[in-house]
Amino acid sequence: MPETVLYVCTTCRREGDDPDGPRAGARLLDALRDRAGDAPDPRIEPAECLSVCKRPCTVAVASADRWTYVYGDLDPAASAEIILDGLSAYAKTPDGIVPWRQRPAAFRTGVIARIPPFPDPSPPQAGTLEAAE
């Protein structure tokens, strides 16, 4: 199975965040890493910004040859287990599409985007700019 990567927006700020303390996204990253422990999958990576500032906290889940999902409105204190459960379901699919009823409620209501898998590279077609070079 391909590796699953969870990107966590570390710049997400929630209303009421202490301006001198860690932002909500950074707290969510810490909670996810604590909960996941040393498990190699999913790989949990910080992302400086996922540009979904109106729906903090935000994560994106991606894997080769699967759909990528972006989720928001996650609670930095209570979402780590929910996110990891959702990622477990995602990792078991061949295409990244978890049936609606099998998704955690936070993933059903918090989905922001679903992005198709990156297309396989193919040789340039005759007559295209790349073929002419």
DSSP 16-34: T--TTS--HHHHHHHHHHH
Q: How far, in Å, CA of 58 to CA of 24, rounded?
A: 10
Q: What number is the average pLDDT over the span 36-55?
A: 89
The DSSP code for 132 is H
What pLDDT, in 10s, does the model give residues 80-100?
A: 999 999 999 999 999 999 999
Domain range for 107 is: 4-132
Pairwise CA distance, residues 83 & 107, whole Å = 8
Q: Does pLDDT of 32 surpass 90?
A: yes
Measured distance CA(70)–CA(112) in Å, rounded: 5
Q: What is the CATH number of the domain that holds 42?
A: 3.40.30.10
